[in-house]
Chain A
Amino acid sequence: MMDSLRDIAGLFLNLDILDRYGYRILQGLGLTLQLVAVSVLFGFVLGMLIAHARLSKSWLLSGLAYCYTTFFRGTPLLCQLFLVYYGIGLFLPAWRATLEDIGLWAYFRDAYIWVVITFTLNTAAYQAEALRGAMQAVPRGQTEAAKALGLHQFRILQTIIWPQALLIALRPLGNELIIMIKASSIASLATLYDLMGQTRFIFARTFDLSVYLYAAILYLLMVETIRRLWGLMETRLMRHTLR
């Protein structure tokens, strides 16, 4: 009985793995962080544009933005990734000559760029909703007062609306960042060797479950670090509201 217990514990703890594959795990971690950072940043810019489109008076713009957010929030990220990755793959051979001419073929051939594009499009939809809610939460009187003072439209956004809205959106945006760290593991299903990809690779070689445990610890570390960092940022940025 003791033997079998130790056997089962041995499934999860094997330090040899770290010796042999530690470098791969770290490389995977790096790629995960990079994927998330790039797509969340681009996603923020795109999300900001979509949020403004959604709030615009033009029914065409706001309708398009509504369709965009509904589609990307209503379908699984995995499905979006395959749609882009395999879908583009159909056209890529035809574009090859052109892309080689401008020297971009190496980038477009790789899964990396398509994963980043899909993640960006996806997180932009979620961030747009958070930003839209935040901008709607800024009282109308603020805009009216600014107009009365003769500020113009962009100035009003830049100095009155955005600073207040971003504070309100801080928490949902932090949550979105955490969700993206977790969701980025899907990149491994499009042949990328992010943390999850390396983990799958090592498991396929060793059939040793402890590698999943190490990956789990790293993911938890990332998520907890961001949660704490966000908490600190929030108390610092919101200190004017504390009485």
Chain B
Amino acid sequence: MDYYLKLVSFNDGGWGWLLLKGAAITISLAVATLPFGLALGLVVALGQRSKSRVLRVPAIAFTTVFRGLPELLTLYLVYFGLQLGLQRLGRDLGFSGGIDIPPFVAGMMALGLVIAAFSSEVWVGALNAISAGQGEAARSLGLSPGQTFRFILLPQIIRVALPGIGNNWMVLLKDTSLVSVITLPELMFVTSRANVVTKEAFFFFGLASLIYLFFSLVSMAGLGRLEARSNRGYGLR
């Protein structure tokens, strides 16, 4: 028992601080990615519903591709693709030397694309759930399309989309563990390190599982509250 306590202690030789920092990076990556992914997802959703083919086809292609690719593959494509692409571009333009993409940024972009694709489906469903009369009424009151979207449609869409967005968040939270493969020192990366050094696989991966589980349970509780709050104008359901 003492031995294990020492393994996670916060002073010399313990992994406490590193694990805590790793968990913090995991959460910040997920929190930083979410708004970017959701916003892009909303744009893609509006594209999918657009009457113009030029907007609709790429939007549908985007969703199909990034929903169908393994997250790991997307991550490698973004990370190595950006790295090699920028390096070649730099070389052609006369810069020498390597260009490094920070793993955090690559992770954010890759997971953002994935979440955008997943959430665009949720947004489309929510947009379809709002009756056309809402937009027509807003227009007859003289609101501009932008105002209609911001003040009439968006508040209603968010309520309908919330459960789906909640699922997206849970997926995102777990997918951050993949970013460890491009050496971002988040929870999974630190845990793997600890395993290599101490050979205590069950202890460390078990501990990491519990930390992820804790995040998931807290998220579930939080999402439940948010949903209850967003439905408060609609009576008991």
Per-residue CB contact flags for chain B residues 64-102 toward chain A (1 = under 8 Å, else 0) read 110111111100110011001100110011000000000
Contact with B72, one of A7, A83, A196 (Cβ below 8 angstroms): A196
State whether B209 touches A83 (Cβ < 8 A). Answer: yes
A86 at the interface (CB under 8 A from B): yes
CB pair B206–A76 under 8 Å, yes or no, is no
Q: Given that A196-B70, A220-B68 are contacting pairs, would A78 and B178 also be in contact in the complex, using a CB cutoff of 8 Å?
A: yes
Tell me if A157 counts as interface (CB < 8 A to partner B). no
Q: How far is the CA of A212 from the CA of B69 in the complex (A)?
A: 11
Mark contacts of A55-90 with chain B using CB atoms, 8 A cut-off: 1 yes-contact digit, 0 otherwise.
Answer: 000000000000000110111111110110011011
A188 to B85, CA, bound (A): 25
Most A CB contacts (10 A, CB to CB) among B69, B85, B208 go to: B69
Q: Does B188 lie at the interface of the complex (its beta carbon under 8 Å from any beta carbon of A)?
A: yes
Central interface residue in A70, A86, A196, by most chain B CB within 10 Å: A86
Closest to B212 in A: A75
Q: Mark B194-223, 1 if CB is under 8 A from A, else 0.
A: 010001011001101100110011000000
Whether A212 contacts B76 by the Cβ 8 Å rule is yes
Q: Are B85 and A83 in contact (CB under 8 A)?
A: no
Report the bound CA distance from A76 to B215 in whole Å: 11
Chain B residues near A86 (CB-CB < 8 A): 195, 201, 205
Inter-chain contact B205/A87, CB cutoff 8 Å: yes
From residue 1 to 46 of chain A, which have CB atoms closer than 8 A to chain B?
A: 3-4, 7-8, 11-12
Residue from B67, B77, B217 within 8 A of A212 (CB atoms)? B77
Task: Assess the A8–B88 pair: CB atoms within 8 A.
Answer: yes
**Contact status of A83 and B213, CB under 8 A, knowing A4-B88, A220-B69:** no
Chain A residues closer than 8 Å to B76, beta-carbon distance: 200, 203, 212
**Cβ-neighbour of B81 out of A89, A209, A224 (below 8 A):** A209
Q: A7-B92, A71-B213 are in contact. Are A186 and B201 (CB under 8 A)?
A: no
The residue of chain B having its C-beta at the shortest distance from the C-beta of A183 within the complex is B70
A203 to B75, CA, bound (A): 14
Whether, in the assembled complex, A171 has its beta carbon less than 8 Å from a beta carbon of chain B, the answer is no
Q: Is A111 an interface residue (CB 8 A)?
A: no
Count how many chain A residues have C-beta atoms less than 8 Å from C-beta atoms of the other chain. 45
What secondary structure prevails in chain A residues at the interface with B? Answer: helix
Residues on B with C-beta less than 8 A from A145 are none
Is B227 on the interface with A (CB-CB < 8 A)?
Answer: no
CB atoms of A80 and B209 under 8 A apart: yes
Chain A CB within 10 Å — which of B65, B76, B191 has the most?
A: B76
* Structural contact, A11 and B212, CB atoms closer than 8 A: no
Pairwise interchain contact A79-B177, C-beta atoms closer than 8 A: yes
B73: chain A residues within 8 A (beta carbon): 185, 196, 199, 212, 215-216, 219
A223 at the interface (CB under 8 A from B): yes
Is the C-beta of B192 less than 8 angstroms from some C-beta in chain A?
yes
CB <8 Å contact, B68 and A224:
yes
Residues of B within 8 A of A80 (CB): 209
Contact A79 B201 (CB under 8 A): no
Residue pair A216, B84 in contact (C-beta under 8 Å): no
A52 interfacial contact with B, CB 8 Å: no
Q: B181 at interface (Cβ–Cβ under 8 A)?
A: yes
Nearest-CB distance from B42 to chain A (Å)? 22
CA distance A237 to B134 in the complex (A): 38
Closest to B215 in A: A74
Report how far A178 CA is from B208 CA in the complex, Å.
Answer: 26
Q: Please state if B70 and A75 are interface contacts (CB–CB under 8 Å).
A: no
Partner of A71, one of B71, B80, B202, B209: B209
Is there contact, CB below 8 Å, between A11 and B84?
yes
Q: Please list the residues of chain B having a beta carbon within 8 angstroms of any beta carbon in chain A.
A: 64-65, 67-73, 76-77, 80-81, 84-85, 88-89, 92-93, 174-178, 180-181, 188, 191-192, 195, 199, 201-202, 205-206, 208-209, 212-213, 216-217
Q: Identify the A interface with B (CB < 8 A).
A: 3-4, 7-8, 11-12, 70-71, 73-80, 82-83, 86-87, 89-90, 178, 181-186, 188-189, 196, 199-200, 203, 207, 209, 212-213, 215-216, 219-220, 223-224
In the assembled complex, 9 residue pairs joining A and B whose CB atoms fall closer than 8 Å, in A order, are A73-B216, A79-B212, A87-B202, A181-B70, A196-B73, A203-B80, A212-B81, A219-B70, A220-B68
Taking A189-B181, A223-B67 as given, write out 13 further A-B residue pairs in contact, using a Cβ cutoff of 8 Å, ordered by the A residue number.
A74-B217, A76-B177, A78-B178, A79-B191, A79-B209, A83-B202, A87-B201, A185-B72, A196-B70, A209-B77, A216-B73, A220-B65, A224-B64
